[in-house]
Amino acid sequence: MRRIFLTFIILSLLLLRSLTAAELLKNGDFETGDITGWKYWETYPWDGDGAPVESPTHVTIAFPGTIGNPTPPTTSGFFALAQQVVSSGTARGGIYQEVRVILNTPYILTGHMSFYGDDIGDAAIIGILDSSWNPALAFTAINKNYISGNAVSSWMEFSLMIIPSKDVITIFTETRQDWMHGRVAGWYDNLSLKPVPEPTKLLTPQKKQNE
């Protein structure tokens, strides 16, 4: 009975630690109604095929967005981030946030994203760089969640984990239009970055000698 009670206490403490782990992202739910805590980035002019850019345009930030509005409009609170391209042309951009971390300690990024695209070159991305910000690395990063093409998605929950090799990682979003026509929008909400709780060893009472 004592062993069961001790196990219950340890599991309860582990759950409490998981629920109360420190949030590392600033304004990950975007309830400020803007990108406070984040920085805007774009590669302009840009063409995903490497061809001369004939019709460069920009990725804009909107609260709320005006393209492909998901239902419901947010997953929590009053605001969600919308990154959109409202005119024909090629565009690539988003926001990012650098976060100080502990080397070789696992972290998990969770949240929701939605997408509206009307051509094969459209994409919405969220990812983690094992470094400070570098848009060139974002283009080739493999640690990311990706929705693309001629598609409309409702809110999708995602999770990404990283064990950093440096003391800074970068959380980034990207909305991309690699075509000369159409529109695209990437939506993001309720983003959260927390350390993964360490496994807790279940301690059992040691038997006394001669017991």
User: DSSP label at 49?
Assistant: T
Lowest average pLDDT, out of 42-56, 166-180, 192-206, goes to 192-206
What the block records as the tokens of 204 is 């059992």
Q: Any bridge partners for residue 126, and if so which?
A: 145, 173
Q: What domains are there in the chain, each with its CATH number?
A: 23-195 (2.60.120.260)
- 113: phi then psi, degrees, rounded to nearest 5: -145, 155
What pLDDT is attached to residue 20? 57
Q: What is the pLDDT of residues 74-126, one digit of tens each?
A: 999 999 999 999 988 899 999 999 999 999 999 999 999 999 999 888 999 99
Q: What is the mean pLDDT of the chain?
A: 86
Q: What is the pLDDT of residues 5-62, one digit of tens each?
A: 444 444 444 444 444 579 999 999 999 999 999 999 999 998 877 777 878 999 999 9
- pLDDT, average across residues 163-175: 97
Q: Give the integer Cα–Cα distance in Å for 139 and 41.
A: 13
Residue environment code for 104-139, b if the CB has 16+ CB neighbours within 10 A, otherwise e: eeebbbebbbbbbbbbebbbbbbbbbbeebebeebe
pTM of the entire predicted model: 0.83
What pLDDT is attached to residue 130? 96
